[in-house]
Amino acid sequence: MPPNQSNLFEEAMRKLLPELFQASPDLLLKLVTQANPQDLRARGVEVHRVVHTPGSFIVTMPNVYHSGLNTGFNVAESCNFGALPWLRFSKDVLKWY
């Protein structure tokens, strides 16, 4: 989903899973919960699908939620990094955390 959808996404997740958020208010930080994209779209969240092909890279921009699903044999690596222009987002992230 695009960065401008993060607040709408968070609101939709809280409405979809109120009992989980009540038990764990920081649920979205734990990387353990997914929602059906159709349920998110029904709540106005813009959702996109990306197919990761061999030899390609996917960069997750600041303020973006993402999830993944493997449908077969998988060998994967990930690397967290931040480009210098992204530093301006760091204050907001610290407040959010």
**Tens of pLDDT, residues 55-96:** 888 888 888 888 877 788 877 778 888 888 888 888 887 887
pLDDT of residue 16: 95
**pTM for the whole thing?**
0.78
Asked if the model's pLDDT at residue 44 lies above 90, the reply is: yes
pLDDT of residue 86: 83
Asked if the model's pLDDT at residue 97 lies above 80, the reply is: no
List the alpha helices (DSSP H) in 1-97.
6-16, 18-23, 37-42, 90-96
End-to-end CA distance of the chain: 20
pLDDT of residue 61: 83
